[in-house]
Amino acid sequence: MKTVRKHYHDIGSKLHSSLFTAGAIKDALQSLVCREEDQALLLDLINNCKAVEDNLMDLERQISLAKLLTYRFLGPEASIDELSNSIIKENTAIKLLIVDDDESICNVLASSYERKGFVLAQAQDYCEALKKINEFRPDIAIIDLYLKNGKEGIDILRYVKDFLPGIKTIVMTYEDQEAELRCVHELSPDELLIKPVRSQALDAKINGLIKSIRN
């Protein structure tokens, strides 16, 4: 009994780590728990996730949440590693690089996608973007076409296509940049979005790319 308690305590503790973000758990639950009779339980779990986010959860509630999560995901006999791997595989394995010269845009996108369980990196110019592409090796790069310091987003796109074509690319731009848009089409990014972009539109493009990465 003590071992089981320790087991769930370990899971509960791990909920606080960067791998087990509340957003990641919530997304996974919403996709997995879909029967009508599970709705009350789902609400309770989501409230618990909020408590994880706010660092308010005490030990007993952590254990209780860990039990519920393990049962819901993998059944009563699952190990901590199985649960961990399951959530990480579903939500947090995707690495996202955001390239935009406007730091406030980078921050808004980054905090939103961190809440959704992605691993994030940001760059605000060409040199920083190349450094992050080579060191961080993102699965998906969201590239703004207009960047400061001369080099444009198109140069980053060209670099990715030439040297690391496995990285999926989403180019975002304003419709005014007609000449640049013609060059972008020639380089065939995986997705192209005209700003301002609704968050649902970007989510849909990212989810499409994730499916193609996993397939």
What own/partner pairs with CB < 8 Å and gap ≥ 24 does 47-53 have?
49/22, 49/23, 49/25, 50/22, 52/15, 52/16, 52/20, 52/22, 52/25, 53/21, 53/22, 53/23
Task: Give the residue ranges of DSSP H helices in 37-152.
Answer: 39-53, 59-74, 80-87, 103-115, 126-136
Which CB atom, from 83 or from 123, has the smaller least distance to another protein? 123
**Which of 105, 110, 164, 213: binder of another protein (CB under 8 A)?**
105
Does 56 bind another protein (CB under 8 A)? Our answer is no
Does 47 bind another protein (CB under 8 A)? Our answer is no
CB under 8 A: which stretch of 32-40, 41-49, 99-107, 126-134 binds another protein?
99-107
Does 111 bind another protein (CB under 8 A)? Our answer is yes
Q: How far is the CB of 11 from another protein (least distance, A)?
A: 26
How far apart (Å, rounded) are the C-alpha atoms in residues 151 and 83?
A: 44
**Which of 34, 59, 127, 197: binder of another protein (CB under 8 A)?**
197
> In the block, which residue shows the tokens 């074509």?
165
The partner residues of 191 in beta bridges, in order of sequence, read 170
Does 204 bind another protein (CB under 8 A)? Our answer is no
Q: Which residues are at the interface with another protein (CB under 8 A)?
A: 101-102, 104-105, 108-109, 111-112, 115, 146, 148, 174, 176-177, 195-200
